[in-house]
Structure 1
Amino acid sequence: MENSVSNLKSHSVMLVSESDAIARVVADVFPADEDNKVSAKATSFQALNGAAFQLASDHDVVIFEIDPVDADEVQAVEDVLSCCDDGTLFIALTQNDLSITKARELRRIGVDDVLPLSIDGEELKAALSEKINARKVAHPLALGGANALGKVIPIAKSRGGVGASTVAANLACALVGGRGSFFRKSAKSRVALLDFDLQFGNSNVFLDLEDNGGFLQLIESDEKPDDHFLSSILQQHTLGVDVLCAPAPMVPLQSMRPDLVEDILDLLQRRYDYIVVDLPCAILEWVEPIFKRATQLALVSDTTVPCVRQARRLIDIYREANMALPVEIVVNRERNKLIRPSHVREAEKVLETKLKHWLPDNPKVARNSVDLGRPVVEMKPQSDLGKALTKLAAAVTADVQPVAIKKT
């Protein structure tokens, strides 16, 4: 997947490394003729002593070589990170065979990314471009003004395998809008996709992304997450969606905590216009904060009797957390018919709502989308399934007002 590198201009860069080879790579990535300024320090953070903080604060990007086994050097970096604000990007370069544990430790203290010393110029450009793009969304929402909170849209399922992850990934991509979207042509929205289906989540597969270990680190940490760390573990898709991938290792569903969910949403609602949450097929204590904040719920189902009955039960449970929660039933792999069959009319009675959202069964397009890791709304937007998913995005967000931040 290619990243735009057009944003690597007009930056002030600090390099802390004794390697001439690394200095040449960084100089190539940030050429002086594109209004970049690179200051190289052939030393370490520990050797810089008290000057390290001021030097780092004076730059947009700090790239440094580090041996994670050197506890004193790690502490020196942590001391600088604890004082610097979130405006400076910190990139660590270390040995190629670095263990996951050591990499997580560097991420824990606030390092934005950990890259191998063998990285070449093009790879460094791509990694830096992704991080810089992610930082661009870390500002107050334009939607509804500075006092607006992003809309939380959970995606639930009446049974496993009903296609909720397909809906979540495509809905998130369609919500970005911009050129090519019939319901939002002028400006793109800031959208985050959270794959909270901890054990069977595969939203990343639909977007050709790999788990970077960040979510697992977030779950295992006892510390309250901050905006800096959350920004570092979100992965930006080329369509503009920032994704928190489900952990690759199998983790217990109860490993998530309500307070952690609250903390994540507190941070993201101030940065994004929409937060799409792919939920597990289970009733858990930690989903309650999601529904308390939700502005819409998309419940993916089919019209079989077991699924309709389960959908009814789920709606009742979810509304215990939010009585006024608007619920949109998404009927997947079925076409809407002009004359409603009796089982559809009966389903509408049970669910106490009209079934308005239908996603046609198009196995060829759906299969190609998964195999290629490209969402349907981007790969086949003019297909019947692509049009239905885009229409769903327009309908789900219509008539939903921004949520105001309460003044205390």
Structure 2
Amino acid sequence: MALLARLGSMVGRGEKGDSSSQSDTGDLRVTLVLAPETAATIDPAHLANLGASIHVFDGGLEKFSVNGPLLRRTDLVILEIEPESAEELAALEQFANSVGARIPVVAAAHNLTITATRRLMRSSIADVLPIPFSREELAQALETGRDRLGQLRTGGGPARSGNVIAFQGVLGGIGSTMLATQLAQIWAAEKKVLLIDLDLQRGNAALYMNLKPRLSIADLIEADDRLDAEFLKMVLERHQSGTSVISSPNDMTAMDVVTPEFIDRLLDVATQNYDLVLLDLPGIWMDWTAMAIQKADLLLLTTQMTVSGVQQARRQLDVAEANGLGDRVRVVMNRMIPGLFGKYDLSEAESALRSRVHFGLANDFPTVSAAQDEGRSLGQIKMKSRIEKDLRAIAAQLGDELVSMGATA
């Protein structure tokens, strides 16, 4: 229960759904991070026809700052703050510095005084907006944000903001790493893909791709504040498919050497340099694995139709749902046997799981084993196999989902 409480504090549940006002779609994606009482007073007319897509998030800065999918779909943040609070000022400055290379930040406050405005403008923000604000005041803040965003991109700031897909098996040896490595090779034909093996004690991603890396994720962990794009490139290995791979350590490594702060920085650097970042996670819940899932756009949970597979999958789903992450989970049922007409009967699995099964994968041990031994794609081993067809269907559907989310390609 203590872990659940900590995980719950890391997940934003205050995000508005259809009740949050969104204007006509434009090139500027704006998120208003407001207190619930402020969000409730927003006049939709203030947000319409401003040449921007505006989303209201009433979960606060702490929850917004770890919401990876929303952050990656935000070009400008308007953040409510209490300027007389030293703690909130420090949090504003830390956040503005952390995202400042990509996302301009506008501070919004009630009862703004000249002194408070000067105090706020001494921080790393683009502008200050009073609360309540008029439509004209909001339009001016958006224009300032556009100008700052243009300066960042003209000045060489990172315009790329890739997507993150996490992979987790409910049991060891259930096929999650196979799924990650094979999908990486499919996506690498069209995207710049980075696969990171975060299973510190049982990771096999490099082995399945027939790579012999000199360095590993452990070197990035040791780098600490020196972790940047150049250091990342030094550690990775390139697969023949074009996939970049960061392997798990060769030696047995304690799971607690990874921190949520490291995951946050790692994904910040990775998504600025790759279209698609794939995380091969261990099948456990810790603070840092929770952070990784919170930062991910989607979580592929791999299981199979066995008693233990169904039981563990249900437990993982319960934890995800309890922490507001259920809508990101896509269940993959591995080692399926097609029925008479070549279709999978997923009804029994869905009944046992009390949840939707999104994808089925054929049981084809000889093809999978050969592909992993040789570090090649399934299509290179056996063309037009059922399992390759299944994987390509998964790749296509997930790609469509990312696009429909408004994710960048």
Give the TM-score band, short-chain normalised: 0.5 to 0.7
User: Counterparts in 2 of 1:18-29, with a 5 A limit?
Assistant: none
Gaps of 5+ in 2: 1-152
Give the aligned residue type for 1:317: V
CA contact (8 A) 2:338 2:345 kept: no
1:394 to 379, 393, 396: 396
Q: 1:259 to 1:350 in 2, by over 3 A?
A: same
Q: Distance in 1 between matches of 2:337 and 2:230?
A: 44
Q: 1:321 to 1:150 in 2, by over 3 A?
A: farther
Aligned to 2:177: 165
Residues 183-226 of structure 1, C-alpha deviations (whole Å, 9 max, x = no match): xxxxx211110111111101111111013224222223443411
Q: 1:214 to 1:382 in 2, by over 3 A?
A: same
Secondary structure of the residue aligned to 1:398 is helix
Q: C-alpha displacement at 1:258, in angstroms? A: 1.0
CA contact (8 A) 1:335 1:358 kept: no
Q: C-alpha displacement at 1:320, in angstroms? A: 4.5
Aligned to 1:49: none
Q: Distance in 2 between matches of 1:225 and 1:166?
A: 28
TM-score (norm 1): 0.56
Q: Distance in 2 between matches of 1:249 and 1:240?
A: 26
User: Counterparts in 2 of 1:1-400, with a 5 A limit?
Assistant: 149-177=161-189, 188-323=190-325, 325-337=327-339, 344-400=346-402
Q: State the number of aligned residues.
A: 251
Q: Distance in 2 between matches of 1:404 and 1:384?
A: 30
Secondary structure of the residue aligned to 1:193 is strand
CA contact (8 A) 2:198 2:282 kept: yes
Residues 325-355 of structure 1, C-alpha deviations (whole Å, 9 max, x = no match): 3221111111243699999534313534432
CA contact (8 A) 2:298 2:330 kept: yes
Q: Distance in 2 between matches of 1:403 and 1:291?
A: 19
Secondary structure of the residue aligned to 1:300 is strand
Give the aligned residue type for 1:380: K
| RMSD, aligned CA | 2.7
Secondary structure of the residue aligned to 1:149 is coil
Give the aligned residue type for 1:171: L
Q: Distance in 2 between matches of 1:147 and 1:264?
A: 17
CA contact (8 A) 1:362 1:385 kept: yes
Residues 143-197 of structure 1, C-alpha deviations (whole Å, 9 max, x = no match): xxx75521111111111111111111001111123xxxxxxxxxx2111101111
Secondary structure of the residue aligned to 2:214 is coil
Q: 1:354 to 1:393 in 2, by over 3 A?
A: same
Give the aligned residue type for 1:165: T
Q: Distance in 1 between matches of 2:191 and 2:391?
A: 17
Q: 1:288 to 1:341 in 2, by over 3 A?
A: same
Residues 247-287 of structure 1, C-alpha deviations (whole Å, 9 max, x = no match): 11111111111111111100111121211111112222111
What fraction of aligned residue pairs are identical, expressed as a percent?
A: 28
TM-score (norm 2): 0.56
Q: C-alpha displacement at 1:404, in angstroms? A: 6.4
Q: 1:234 to 1:403 in 2, by over 3 A?
A: farther
CA contact (8 A) 1:295 1:325 kept: no
Gaps of 5+ in 1: 1-139, 141-145, 178-187
Q: Distance in 2 between matches of 1:268 and 1:307?
A: 32
Q: Distance in 2 between matches of 1:294 and 1:155?
A: 10
CA contact (8 A) 2:166 2:300 kept: yes
Q: 1:385 to 1:342 in 2, by over 3 A?
A: closer
Aligned to 2:5: none
Q: C-alpha displacement at 1:322, in angstroms? A: 4.4
Secondary structure of the residue aligned to 2:248 is coil
